[in-house]
Structure 1
Amino acid sequence: MSAYDFTAQRLFVRDELAPGVDFAPSAEALNYLLNVLRLREGAAIHVFNGRDGEFRATLFDVTRRAARLRVAERLRVQPERADLDYCFAPLKQARLDYMAQKATEMGAGRLLPVITHRTQVRRINAARLQSNVVEAAEQCGVLAVPEVAPAVELPDFLAGFPARRLLIFCDEHAVLANPMDALADCTAREGVSLLIGPEGGFDDSERGSIRRLQNVVCLSLGPRVLRADTAAVAALAIVQAAIGDWRPPAQDKI
């Protein structure tokens, strides 16, 4: 197999993928291929669906309003999603878009909106959130496209939280300490959920309820107050470096 081309255009599809399969792209994908990328008969593109891996595909039967894709060799096998839930209080739309994109790039396996007392936005545009996840996956070589879960109220999130799962709670009131040290003795065998609050943080009652969970680590993100979208990138980087897939392959990963 030749070396993977990270400069190639990539397209997320919902069709089943295997060598020799051909299919008609969706209307949205067709517009992207013909009118945005301006591809023509015989052009190649990488396709993936989050289930079967990534394949090279060729455009054929191209007309002004239609085309088909024929799947050729598989370029990369499908990895499993990381058992890493990114749990966040939704933000206003532009910053929520950014947050979803960065969480995808950083390797989150599931995005879970959590509604808190100070949450700015309580109605989630799930389709837009999913679109941002897919776009980030297309642009950054991600194959394990994160799941976008329905929003949940914080009390319900805490009540249903598995006892053996690790919750990393980004708490602005946590003792200032090296966050890598805070995670040094943690194991990720039961999966990890990373919880980040809204602008203004959690209130005292919420903070107390979170801290009472059985398997929770309170994490400081430094001496400065971070905006929630900035905190997402900082916290996910720390988690991936400490107990995630930034570590050498011989070590356990989430």
Structure 2
Amino acid sequence: MSIKIKARLFSSADMGTGVTITPSTDQAHYLLKVMRAQNGDHVIVFNGRDGEWLSVVQTISKKACALEIKEQLRPQIPEPDLWLAFAPLKKSNTDFLVEKATELGVSRLIPVFTENTNTTRVKSERLAAISMEAAEQCDRLSVPEVAEPLSLTELITDWPKGRSLLVPDETGGGRSLKSVLETSIDDAGITPHGFLIGPEGGFAASELDALDKLPFVNRVGLGPRILRAETAALAAIACFQAVAGDWQQAPRFNNGYFFNARK
């Protein structure tokens, strides 16, 4: 028996069988006005902690509704602990990068201002909304944290001990990313990593010098071609997932329990 699903939504509320949660104003508008949800329609919900759940719409008014959770569809599972620090790009390119990095499975997004960064303003709330929508659409069980923007100095000063910072190097001076990742894997898995993607104009020489002096920084190569910043970021994430991440797992298109009818 298949069940038609109206939408898949993130909620920060605790989840369990019999629990009723209240969608945000925007989510209620989407369900009731865009998707034309009615009483009894099914919605998938997740919170990044308790797995994924099947819920049923309970219409309260024309502008608000509640979701009654019926049963768990998937338990919460560990996900790759991969951070992406990036110099903000032109608006549409930054939006694209955040969306696709979320789809590829990063756990934290950190906007970083560098000497050659072309933009001076970043709206973290907007990026968080883009990331949440991407997580809802791609069936992942969590939403990446979007950090407040930092300067490069602040980033490297506060970088956590034990987490490697990989910097794609277009000059050809870095080791192959694949080889760096393979040597980071042991019986316990892979050590925590993060990527730092520079601005469209590249890092300043002084910034590269400062990075080279840090023991947790490694320059890595992404092949023989010069890549745009957003391309480099997504290529690096994809390589990480293929070598050391969760790309060994099969996708879940249709588990036989429900038919996903999202558009």
- Tell me if TM exceeds 0.5: yes
What is the SS of the residue equivalent to 1:59?
A: strand
Match of 2:257? Answer: none
**Deviation at 1:158?**
1.6
Equivalent of 1:84, from 73, 82, 85?
A: 82
> Which residues in structure 2 correspond to 1:116-195 (within 5 Å)?
116-175=114-173, 178-187=176-185, 189-195=190-196
What is the CA-CA distance between 1:161 and the residue it aligns to?
2.4
Mapped pair 1:33 → 2:31? yes
Give the superposition deviation at 1:173. Answer: 1.6
**Closer/same/farther in 2, CA of residues 158 and 59 from structure 1, 3 Å limit:** same
For residues 102-113 of structure 1, what are the structure 2 equivalents within 5 Å? 102-113=100-111
Structure 2 residue runs of 5 or longer lacking an equivalent are: 251-263
**Aligned-pair CA distance for 1:76:** 1.1
2:239 maps to 238
In the other structure, the counterpart of 1:196 is 197
Between stretches 147-156 and 185-194, larger displacement belongs to 185-194
Q: Secondary structure at the match of 1:87?
A: strand
Select between 166-175 and 187-196 the one with higher mean Cα deviation: 187-196
Report the more deviating stretch, 78-87 or 129-138.
Answer: 78-87
1:9 is paired with a residue whose SS is: strand
2:148 is paired with a residue whose SS is coil
TM-fit CA distance, 1:190: 4.2
2:59 maps to which of 55, 58, 61: 61
The answer to whether the 8 A contact 1:79-1:144 is kept is no
Match in the other structure for 1:252: none
Report the equivalent of 2:14. Answer: 16
Q: CA deviation at 1:248?
A: 7.4
- Residues 190, 244 of structure 2: 8 Å contact kept: no
* Structure with the bigger percentage of strand: 2
1:120-161 Cα deviation digits (max 9, x unpaired): 122210111000110100000011211111111111212222
Quick one: structure 1 residues 64 and 163, their matched pair in 2 at CA, closer, same or farther if it must change by over 3 Å?
closer
- After TM superposition, the structure 1 stretch with the greater mean CA deviation from structure 2, 45-54 or 73-82, is 73-82
CA distance 1:8–1:35, change in 2 (3 Å) = closer
Q: Is the 8 A contact 1:169 1:216 kept in 2?
A: yes
1:16 partner letter: D
User: Is the CA contact (8 Å cut-off) linking 1:57 and 1:72 kept in structure 2?
Assistant: yes
Q: CA deviation at 1:85?
A: 0.8
| TM-score w.r.t. length of structure 2 | 0.86
The residue type paired with residue 196 of structure 2 is L
Q: What CA distance in whole angstroms lies between the structure 2 residues aligned with 1:207 and 1:237?
A: 24
**Does the 8 Å CA contact 2:172/2:221 hold for their aligned counterparts?**
yes
Partner of 1:219: 220
Q: Is the alpha carbon distance of 1:61 and 1:132 closer, same or farther for their aligned partners in structure 2, counting shifts above 3 Å?
A: closer
Question: Could you tell me how far apart the structure 2 residues matched to 1:184 and 1:174 are?
Answer: 19
What's the CA shift for 1:194? 0.8
Could you say which structure has the greater relative contact order, defined with CA pairs below 8 angstroms and 6 or more residues apart? 2
| Distance of aligned partners of 1:92 and 1:53 in 2 relative to their CA distance in 1, 3 Å threshold | same
Supply the distance in 1 between the matched residues of 2:121 and 2:162 (Cα, whole angstroms): 30
**Does structure 2 conserve the Cα–Cα contact (< 8 Å) formed by 1:58 and 1:71?**
yes
SS across alignment from 2:29: helix
Are 1:90 and 1:114, in contact at CA under 8 Å, matched by a contact in 2?
Answer: yes
The one-letter code sitting in structure 1 at the alignment partner of 2:145 is: E
RMSD over equivalenced CA pairs, Å: 2.4
In terms of mean alpha carbon deviation, does 171-180 or 238-247 score higher? 171-180
Residues matched between the structures, number? 247
| Alignment partners' CA distance in 2, 1:8 and 1:174 | 49
